Amino acid sequence: MNQRVLLADDQHLLRAGISGILNSASDIQVVGEADNGEQAVELARTLRPDAVLMDIRMPVLDGIEATRHIITAEPQAKILILTTFDLDEYVYEALRAGASGFLLKDTPPRRLIEAVRAVTVGDTLLAPTITKRLITRFTARPPTPTSVPKGLAALTDREREVLTLVAGGLTNDEVARQLHIAPGTAKTHVRNLLTKLDARDRVHLVIIAYRTGLAEG
């Protein structure tokens, strides 16, 4: 089954280019295009795409506010922010709004296709420079155990190990190699963490790990 994608960007030529790239993949179909945030919110509501590719700077309603509106209406929506800007203020606002990924517009076409595939199945994707800054930002803060998720106490020792490695920026394959387990087993552990901690995605897991003191800078 094709992954259905909605594009939101105020530049028509850029939308056309991205649409061409995504439609070239046999398992991805662009089902709608919006040239401002308000249209993106409406089309997300009516089309219910598997993923939304969202620009940040758009007229009427910017991408961060549009993301916030979409996530409020559909908490499980998958939104991938695509922008020329990787400034901290945009990164953190987008993640707080509920975005599942953040890529720059100079991302190679193959990487863009892989990003859409990853986000639609529940993975989180951040540009490498953004991942490093996200982790650095939270390691610079003292842990705040006051907002400990209820499921934290139910984690097994192995799941705590996996959570710590995920907080260090490791992928599932890297976690598997580090713990000498099968990649499928690592993926299962991450899926269990998402469920037990009621986390939206890997970014949320990273934040939980640092806020609760399980990961330290």
Q: Which residue has the higher pLDDT, 169 or 71?
A: 71
Backbone angles phi, psi at 197, to 5 degrees: -95, 5
Q: Is the pTM of this model over 0.75?
A: no
For the segment 42-70, the average pLDDT, to the nearest whole number, is 94
Q: Which residues contact 128 (CB under 8 A, 6 or more apart)?
A: none
pLDDT at position 193 over 80: yes
Catalogue all structural domains in the chain, each as residue range(s) with its CATH number.
Answer: 3-128 (3.40.50.2300), 141-211 (1.10.10.10)
CA distance 97 to 79: 10
Using CA atoms, how far residue 185 sits from 1, 5, 153, 192, in Å, is 25, 29, 21, 11
Q: What is the pLDDT of residues 143-153, one digit of tens each?
A: 555 456 778 88
pLDDT for the residue numbered 206? 78
CA distance 132 to 130: 5
Query: What is the pLDDT confidence band of residue 137, given thresholds at 50, 70 and 90?
Result: low
pLDDT at position 118 over 60: yes
Q: What is the pLDDT of residues 18-27, one digit of tens each?
A: 999 999 999 9
pLDDT for the residue numbered 45? 95
CA distance 47 to 174: 36
Two tokens, residue 27: 């398992």
Query: What is the pLDDT confidence band of residue 171, given thresholds at 50, 70 and 90?
Result: confident
CA distance 191 to 173: 14
Which of 111, 116, 149 is closest to 31 using CA atoms? 116
By percentage, how much of the chain surpasses pLDDT 90? 42
Q: What is the pLDDT of residues 95-114, one digit of tens each?
A: 778 888 788 888 889 888 88
Place of tokens 């996200």: 134
pLDDT for the residue numbered 31? 96
Instruction: Give the chain as a 3 state SS string.
Output: CCEEEEEECCCHHHHHHHHHHHHCCCCEEEEEEECCHHHHHHHHHHHCCCEEEECCCCCCCCHHHHHHHHHHHCCCCCEEEEECCCCHHHHHHHHHHCCCEEEECCCCHHHHHHHHHHHHCCCCEECHHHHHHHHHHHHCCCCCHHHCCHHHHHCCHHHHHHHHHHHCCCCHHHHHHHHCCCHHHHHHHHHHHHHHCCCCCHHHHHHHHHHCCCCCC
